[in-house]
Amino acid sequence: MNTASSIVPRSMIAIGMEAPGGPDVLKPQTRPVPQPAAGEILVAVAAAGVNRPDVLQRQGGYNPPPGASDIPGLEIAGTVVALGEGATRFALGDQVCGLVAGGGYAQYAVVHESNALPVPTGLSLIEAGAVPETYFTVWTNVFQRGRLQAGESFLVHGGSSGIGTTAIQLAKAFGATVLATAGSDEKCQACRELGADHAINYRTEDFVAATKAATAGRGVNLTLDMVGGDYIDRNYEAAADQGRIVQIAFLNGPKATVNFSRLMLKRLTHTGSTLRPRTVAEKAAIAAELQEKVWPLLDAGRCKPLISATFPLAEAAQAHRLMESSAHIGKIVLTI
């Protein structure tokens, strides 16, 4: 292992929990600094994004995949301080951001070099810490599985969330007409400022009717849904002929009563995916496409993570409270 040994201690502070529960179960702990295996790099973490899957893990509903760290946190940014055997993609001292299967809420984290990317030009490490989870998720679901094309219409639910703010910017950058739902007029305005052509306050408007009005009755070509529940049937109603719906979460539950005749009559495609359990190689393929097709947009400032709030690592519980309140617009980041 090639390491900047003078700056890598044997122990670190990380956020752990003794049992599932509310935000207060998240406590600073002393843990051994992880050692990078073959092909991995050790990163001194400067920032770690907070995401809904972290909340689910804390509640006991989303366990780490086999072999992954039990420490929460799926995305990091920081400085490379050690290289595992055969790791040559980055050098000691490089600033990177990366997607991890766990371990992000800590002073140090390991990531496979193929799942890491250079920090985009002009982004701070705090901003870079808000990039990997959302950009990997949006790219694979909207552009790979959803096959969004320039000139199509795209609806994203939860437009003011970390996923939503990313999806709005990327869909707009690639030439789509963008519609977003959000839960307040303030959040709708934020969606418009990010590039949404239409923002729908789901508390005061019927998003199906608003979507059809915005598309001259045709409906939308692609919907990215993290809500589930009764939204599933309504997504079918709001979809255009041969429309696609991509499911990435079920905030309103995974079960619903659905009129499946629309699936046949409109020739719809309803698919979905998760990111965390995928293999290193699968995530590496996503990272390669991001570096080729999306990183130039970040480097040029055409897309940028929207940071709602930052918290010191020790205040991870407060970050989770904010996440669960849904009062944030954009990303929540822990700083180390």
Tens of pLDDT, residues 278-305:
999 999 999 999 999 999 999 999 999 9
Q: Is the pLDDT of residue 4 over 70?
A: no
Mean pLDDT rounded to a whole number for the chain: 96
Chain segment 31-67, per-residue pLDDT in tens: 999 999 999 999 999 999 999 999 999 999 999 999 9
Looking at residue 13, its amino acid is I
Considering the chain, tell me which residue range(s) the CATH 3.90.180.10 domain(s) occupy.
Answer: 2-131+276-335, 135-272
| pLDDT more than 70, % of the chain | 99
| Burial letters 78-112, b for 16+ CB under 10 A, else e | bbbbbbbeebebbeeebbbbbbbbbbbbbbbbbbb
The C-alpha atoms of residue 45 and residue 30 are separated, in whole angstroms, by 15
Using alpha carbons, list the distances in angstroms from residue 257 to 29, 60, 226, 245, 246.
44, 27, 17, 16, 18
CA atoms within 13 A on the CB side of 149: 5
For tokens 């999806």, name the residue: 167
| Position 296, amino acid | P
Residues 256-273 have a mean pLDDT of 96
On whether the CB atoms of residues 44 and 7 are closer than 8 A, the answer is: yes
CATH 3.40.50.970 fits 135-272, yes or no: no
pTM as predicted:
0.95
Half-sphere exposure for 96 (CA within 13 Å, toward CB) = 30
Alpha-helical segments (H) within the chain: 52-59, 125-128, 132-138, 162-173, 185-194, 207-214, 231-238, 261-265, 280-293, 295-299, 316-325
The amino acid present at 295, given as its one-letter code, is: W
* CATH superfamily name and code, 2-131+276-335: Medium-chain alcohol dehydrogenases, catalytic domain (3.90.180.10)
Q: Which of 132, 54, 70 is nearest to 99 (CA)?
A: 132
Dist. CA 196–CA 153, nearest whole Å: 11
Quote the CA–CA distance of 121 and 109 in Å, as a whole number. 23
In this predicted model, what pLDDT tens digit does every residue of 183-197 receive, in sequence order?
Answer: 999 999 999 999 999
Q: How confident is the model at residue 7 (pLDDT cuts 50, 70, 90)?
A: confident
